Amino acid sequence: MAVDTPSEYYAENRNRWRKCRDFVEGSDRVKDGGELYVPRPSGLNDKEFRDYIQRGAFFNASQRTVDSLVGLVMAKPPVVEMGAGLAALADYIDGAGSTAEDFARDAVFDVLVTGGGCAVVDRPETPRGVTTRRQEQEMGLRPYASWYPVENVLEWRYGQINGKRELVWLKLSETWEETVDEWTVKARPQVRVFDMVEGAARCRVFRQQADGWAVYSETFLRRSNGTPFPYVPAVMFGPVKNEPEKSPILDLIEVNRSHWQNSVDLEHGLHFTGLPTAYVSGHAFGDDEVVKLGSKTLFAFDEVGAKLEFASFGSEGLAGLEKALDRKEQQMAALGARMLMPEGSQAESGEALAIRRGGENSALGKLADSVSRCMELTLETMGEWEGISDSVSFRLNTDYLPTAMTAQELTAAIAAVDRGYMSQQEFFELLKAGGQVRDDKTYEEHAEEVAGFADRPIDGDGDEG
């Protein structure tokens, strides 16, 4: 077995991942997939099949759905609580200018599309002669997180370390750039393998040689204080827990694929039946007889009963395909593409609307919670490199159907506070949930502002001075 051999899970899912990627990517990728997504009709050669595919009009419900769902999760900034040390790392999480919020957005997108991904945390080795933290900071020596799509995660395994479930094995597919000459750089495959050796995390990089795979580098990972890293510094992401699972939009992708097949058939049929075809019966044209069609052309035949007519395609000929397209667009709307379809013609009560969207919110909320936990683990792993043990809270938005407070509800809440049935902080949280206070405002900021209002002087007429 070669080092680049993937796990059974990978082998079983790679085609699903490609299909999800292609349909979210759009028309060009889907058309390039050819027979992967549309069976070849019998009798078509390669050129005819390419023309058949190119006639199709791709309706990209998948991409629009994913973009909308990611937009819902990222509509509000994540609520983050952590120490100053971790906050500095989070503000530059990948070492290339991205913040933790940027990183989370990419993770939400990939988890929605393929059902998973992986964040690997690394840190450049400290060169000899660098002895202080200030020198390291000036040289940019700090932990950073790299995102790997699930298609690059060949295999992973969990184990127990100090009573906790941790990654103990991870194999990643990568590329490295080889400079061939002054003008040419080629991407070459390599495989990065993390494992545990006597309680210490090890990282090996394999590169392909003429006679097979060989170890290019081997490193035992050590924290900034010199102690061995106690687990594989990576976090698996998934839609429910920190492990890849079925893509949340796979069912939508399947309907989108079927819709695409119907579209290709419909456009193919329209191509051959859309223009009328003239035919003559009861008359044989002579060798020198010229046939022309047009409003100024008159046909006169000597034969009794001879006539010129136009063949027409029955009105119901393609109606079945058109109905199938409409039905599948409705199915895609029910599976998550509501923004593509108008709401029902009849008015829907607020309660019915909330119930109808409840399942959708629940599925998206679970995914947001899962990515939030994985982001916390990623930031904690970054802290592990630097010896930072601060607690981390990173919460993505899960409020996709906010309900503003009515005047009656606000009056009742104020009365509850006045009578001692509700604390000031509970009242503040209620105001925030009801959309009366901005999401990133803390109770401490609110209390300070309220105290400032109370201290303002009042003039003789009862107005503020």
* Confidence class for position 362, pLDDT limits 50, 70, 90: low
**Crossing angle between the packed helical segments 8-25 and 61-73, to the nearest 10 degrees:** 100
pLDDT score for 321: 65
Q: Which residue has the higher pLDDT, 170 or 317?
A: 170
- Measured between alpha carbons, how far apart are the two ends of the chain, in Å? 82
Does residue 464 fall inside a structural domain? Answer: yes
* Confidence class for position 314, pLDDT limits 50, 70, 90: low
Q: Which residue has the higher pLDDT, 42 or 407?
A: 42
**Residues with Cβ within 8 Å of residue 278, at least 6 apart in sequence:** 293, 308, 309, 310, 311
Q: Which residue has the higher pLDDT, 58 or 294?
A: 58
Question: Is the pLDDT score of 16 beyond 80?
Answer: yes
Question: Is the pLDDT score of 203 beyond 90?
Answer: yes
Q: Report helix, strand or coil for 248.
A: coil
When pLDDT is averaged across residues 346-353 and rounded to a whole number, the result is 47
Residue 153, Cβ density class (10 Å: 0-12 exposed, 13-18 middle, ≥19 buried): buried
When pLDDT is averaged across residues 422-451 and rounded to a whole number, the result is 76
Full domain range(s) for residue 413: 403-465
Does residue 308 fall inside a structural domain? Answer: yes
Give the integer Cα–Cα distance in Å for 115 and 248.
6
**Crossing angle between the packed helical segments 61-73 and 350-386, to the nearest 10 degrees:** 70
When pLDDT is averaged across residues 102-110 and rounded to a whole number, the result is 96
**Inter-residue contact 114 to 149 (CB < 8 Å):** yes
Per-chain mean pLDDT for the chain = 81
**Crossing angle between the packed helical segments 443-454 and 424-433, to the nearest 10 degrees:** 110
Alpha-carbon torsion 84, 85, 86, 87, what sign? positive
Could you give the number of structural domains in the chain?
Answer: 2
Does residue 231 fall inside a structural domain? Answer: no
Give the integer Cα–Cα distance in Å for 284 and 290.
12
pLDDT score for 294: 63
Q: pLDDT digit string (tens) for 220-242?
A: 998 878 899 999 999 999 999 88
Question: Is the pLDDT score of 299 beyond 80?
Answer: no
- Answer with the one of 267, 283, 312 that is the final residue of a domain: 312
Does residue 39 fall inside a structural domain? Answer: no
Give the integer Cα–Cα distance in Å for 362 and 356.
11
Question: Is the pLDDT score of 146 beyond 70?
Answer: yes
Question: Is the pLDDT score of 18 beyond 90?
Answer: yes
- Answer with the one of 312, 340, 360 that is the final residue of a domain: 312
pLDDT score for 343: 42
Does residue 217 fall inside a structural domain? Answer: no
pLDDT score for 345: 43
Report the DSSP beta bridge partners of residue 190.
174, 207
Q: pLDDT digit string (tens) for 160-195?
A: 988 889 999 999 999 999 888 889 999 999 999 999
pLDDT score for 311: 59
pLDDT score for 104: 96
* Confidence class for position 281, pLDDT limits 50, 70, 90: confident
pLDDT score for 408: 76
Does residue 79 fall inside a structural domain? Answer: no
When pLDDT is averaged across residues 76-87 and rounded to a whole number, the result is 91
pLDDT score for 357: 46
The stretches of 130-225 forming alpha helices (DSSP H) are 133-138
Does residue 427 fall inside a structural domain? Answer: yes
Question: Is the pLDDT score of 454 beyond 80?
Answer: no
pLDDT score for 340: 26
Does residue 213 fall inside a structural domain? Answer: no
